[in-house]
Amino acid sequence: MGWGVPGETAIAIAGLSRDPHKCTIFAYDAGVEMPGLVAPAKRVGLFLFRNTAHDFTPEGWSFSGLIVPYDAPSSAYENGSLCLKTMNNTNTFGFWANDDSGVIMESDTLYKINYAIRSDVEKVADSPELRIRVSDKGNNVILASDIKSESDGSDSPGIDPQDYSIWFYPMDAIAGTEMTLAFDILNFDPTDQSISSLFLDAVNVSKYLVP
C-alpha cells in the first residue's frame, strides 16, 4: 500500500507506524482547502499499487465452471493473478467472481471499481472479449462493461496491463448490501485468437462521498 502527505485540513485516518505524517488513508470534508483546490465534496484518499494483487490470494474468488450451453474456459491462479483461458473462439464463456468482497455499499457515495487486465495475445485485435461487472449480493447486475476487439482492438488488453473502470452511484434499495465483483471472458468471434488467456492483475475499489 502507498502513502501520501495530506494538507493541514485533512482528516488523518491511518498512517505509517514509523512516520505518522505519511498517511495511507485520509479524507477531506467538503468545502475545505485541498492542495490545489477547494474540495467540491467529501474526498477519501486510499493508495493501492497495481501489483498489490500479488500480495492477495484467490480466497473469496470463485470460478464459474461450466455454464451450459457454453464451453468453459480453463481457470488458474498464476503469480498473483487470476487467469481465464479459452480453448475455442466460437462458444466460450466463463468468469471469476468475488461475492465476499467485504465492501458494503453506502448511500450518498460514488464508487469507482478499477480492474487491471492483460492478455497473452500480442495482436490486440485478436484478443477475446472481456466483461467487467459489479453486482449486489444477490448477483443482480448493477453495471457492466464489455470490451470487444473490434476494428483495431485499441480498447482490448495486450501484454501490458490496461486499466478498465466502472463508476456507479448505488440506489437506496441496495445501500447496506455487499458488493460483488466479476471478471468474464467471452470468445464467440471466429476472427479472434482461439486459444488465448486473460489475466486479472488487480482490482481497486475507491469511494467518494457525495454531499
Sequence-ordered list of residues with C-beta below 8 angstroms from that of 160, at least 6 positions apart, any chain:
118
Reported confidence tier of residue 78, pLDDT bands at 50, 70, 90: confident
Question: What pLDDT, in 10s, does the model give residues 119-131?
Answer: 999 999 999 999 9
Gap between the Cα atoms of 22 and 3, Å rounded? 6
Could you give the C-alpha distances from 60 to 46, 146, 150, in angstroms and in order?
A: 22, 23, 33
Cell 476494428 identifies what position? Answer: 151
* Residue 39, pLDDT above cutoff 70: yes
Q: What percent of the chain has pLDDT over 90?
A: 40
Residue the block writes with cell 471472458:
185
Domain boundaries, the chain: 11-46, 59-202
For domain 59-202, give the CATH superfamily: Galactose-binding domain-like (2.60.120.260)
**SS3 of 111, please?**
strand
pTM over 0.95: no
- Give the three-class secondary structure for 120: coil
Higher-pLDDT residue of 11 and 123 is 123
